[in-house]
Structures are given as structure tokens and as C-alpha cells.
Amino acid sequence: MAKKILIACDIGDPFKNKLEKAGFELSFIKDKEALPQALKGVHGMFIGARFRFTPGILEQAEILEAISFCGAGVGTYVDEETATRKGIAVMNAPGVNANSVAECAVGFLLAFHKNLVRENNDLKAGSPFRAMTTEIQGTTAGIIGMGHIGRRISEILSHGFQTSILYFSRSRKPGLEASLGARFADFDTVLRESDTLFPALPETAETRGMIGRDELAKMKPDAILINVARPGLVDGKALYEALSHNKLRAAAFDGYYVSKPYPSNSQEDPYGLFSLPDNKFLCTPHTASRSLKVWDDLFDRAADNLIDYFVTGTCENIINPNYLDFR
């Protein structure tokens, strides 16, 4: 009997065809209220960011074996503890978006050093702004979390701008140290010595709020904070205080603390960051990974994950290997 796969996101025909060619029977859902019924008889799920699979929803999955997510940060959308306890393998697509996100991070850095946003806005308003700019070459980039994205940021800055790389990670990366001359240091040293700080790790109970008032106070007053990971890594109110009192030069986020909906004006922003000028704070609506190539590659990897799992019984991208203890 063909395994039944529930598609819980928008998916292109090439990826539908790939799954059907592999012998799966596909069903589709767009309405959250229909999830409990849609999960009946489903062996696998192909998901994006449309739904959050909470413990209550996962408990209703009777024969579900595997969930494949079109991205890296699956923990935001699937309760991993419940999935593991129910013997459900959870798979993601790590590293696929690394280059796109890293390019966005470096784009933010260039915008600040070259005053790109302010000069554009002032020129179009009839008041050209001609400030002296600063250079990235010769500065020190601090990377917090040397995973796929942190590594790619390091490569672009080191090879392209001759930037020194300082990093803090759970484990050392000897290969990276050799190829880029990167230096491993403790968290406080990275905070103190970095001209630009790049948090590049997932938001978990352990990392949430890891950059707060005390950590920001350790940074150079002319340093820049660029966060293309989750906003929750940084204490938003502490960041506002540091920026508004010139204890930090600038900050940029891809994604914001409030997003459903985003604040339409600075008065609706409980953190105050939207009230700051563009040379102090920039923000994009969680779009760093939205490139055509990334999306195609993410969907392709997610489809391959399901095929690998149901054909071979395993997959290299399973994030909760302990699921087998409960199968």
C-alpha cells in the first residue's frame, strides 16, 4: 500500500511529481481547522511555515511516522518533544539557505558602512546627505554560532573584505581556523573585540535573550549588531536603550519581535526600535532566505528526506534520533 503524505504548504508541481513518482499518495490542506481530520491515515508530512504542529495537534496523529520541513529551524513549527515521544522522525533541510542569509547579513553591514539607506532617502527628499563613510576591510567580525550560516558569513567577509574572524561556538572548527585564520574565543571576548557581531544560531530556551543589557554593555560603542537569526536572541528593550544612548552604533534584524502583524508605525512598536533612524536600526520581514534558488533547493531537499526515510528507513537530516526509542 502506498504511503500517504500530507502536504501542508504551497508546493510546486516538480516536487509533487517527484513525490508521486516515488510512489506516495498525496493529500493537501490549507485550513488549520481541518488538521485533525487531515492527519488521519497519514504516514508522512511535508510542511512549511503555514502551521504550527503543537502537542495537541501531534497527539491526534495516529500512524504518522515522519515530518519533513522545508527549512532549517523546524523547532519553531513542530513540537520536537511530542514528536519524539510519539516515535515520529522530524527532518529539516540544514544549510540550504546559508548563502542567501549570509549575503543579507553582509548587505546590512554595507548599508551601515556606506550610509546607503540614509543617503538614498535624503537625496529623494531633496536634501542630499554626504557623510564620510567607513570601510569593512581591516575590521573584526564576531560570529556567535559557527554553523552553516556563521561559516558562510565568515567566508564572505574574510575572502571578500579581508576581515578578521573571531568566533564562539559549542565546538572549535579547526578547518575554518586554518582556512580563514579565524580565532576561537570565549563569549565575552567576542563581545568585547568585535566591530560587528553576528548571532548565527537557533533560538532555544538556552539562547533566548543571550544578548541582553550586560552583554551589550561589553561591546564597543561603535560596534554594529547584525542579527539574521531569530530576534529573541537579543533583548529588544536593552538594544533600544543601547542604540538610543549611543552605546552601540547600529543594529539590523531580519524579522522582528512583533510580526502578526508587524507594527505599522513606531507608536505600535512596544520595543521602540522602529522609532530609531535608519542609520541606527534596519529591519526586514524575515526575508533573508527568500531567493528562488533557496526555495527550490529547500523543497527538493524536503522531498528527498521523505523519500530517503521511507525507502531506506532513515535519513541524514533527522533532528530527533531518539524517536526510535519510542517507535
Which domain does 265 fall in, by range? 98-284
Among residues 307, 302, 299, 296, which one has the least CA distance to residue 319? 302
177 plus 207 within the same structural domain: yes
219 plus 150 within the same structural domain: yes
The number of CA neighbours under 13 Å toward the Cβ of 254 is: 22
131 plus 262 within the same structural domain: yes
pLDDT value of position 73: 84
Q: What is the DSSP letter of 261?
A: T
Asked if omega into 261 is within 30° of 0 (cis), the reply is: yes
pLDDT > 80? residue 1: no
Rounded to whole angstroms, what are the CA distances from 175 to 84, 116, 146, 171, 190?
33, 35, 12, 12, 19
Domain count, the chain: 2
268 plus 124 within the same structural domain: yes
Q: What is the CATH number of the domain that holds 243?
A: 3.40.50.720
75 plus 183 within the same structural domain: no
Residue 222 in contact with residue 249, Cβ under 8 Å? Answer: yes
Instruction: Give the model confidence (pLDDT) of 71-103 as tens digits.
Output: 988 988 999 999 999 999 999 999 999 999 999
69 plus 163 within the same structural domain: no
Looking at residue 322, its amino acid is N
313 — alpha (psi -120 to 50), left (phi > 0) or beta?
Answer: left
Decide: helix, strand or coil at residue 129. coil
111 plus 236 within the same structural domain: yes
User: What is d(CA 195, CA 216) in angstroms, rounded to the nearest whole number?
Assistant: 13
Q: What is the DSSP letter of 224?
A: E
Instruction: Give the model confidence (pLDDT) of 164-223 as tens digits.
Output: 999 999 999 999 999 999 999 999 999 999 999 999 998 888 999 999 999 999 999 999
Instruction: Give the model confidence (pLDDT) of 259-297 as tens digits.
Output: 989 999 899 999 999 999 999 999 999 999 999 999 999
pLDDT value of position 76: 85
210 plus 71 within the same structural domain: no
Q: How confident is the model at residue 131 (pLDDT cuts 50, 70, 90)?
A: confident
192 plus 243 within the same structural domain: yes
105 plus 59 within the same structural domain: no
Instruction: Give the model confidence (pLDDT) of 7-33 as tens digits.
Output: 999 999 999 999 999 999 999 999 999
Instruction: Give the model confidence (pLDDT) of 49-73 as tens digits.
Output: 899 999 999 999 999 999 999 998 8
255 plus 303 within the same structural domain: no
pLDDT > 90? residue 327: no
DSSP per-residue codes, 19-53? HHHTTPEEEE---GGGHHHHTTT-SEEEE-SS--B
Among residues 96, 99, 97, 165, which one has the least CA distance to residue 136? 165
Residue 26 in contact with residue 3, Cβ under 8 Å? Answer: no
173 plus 184 within the same structural domain: yes
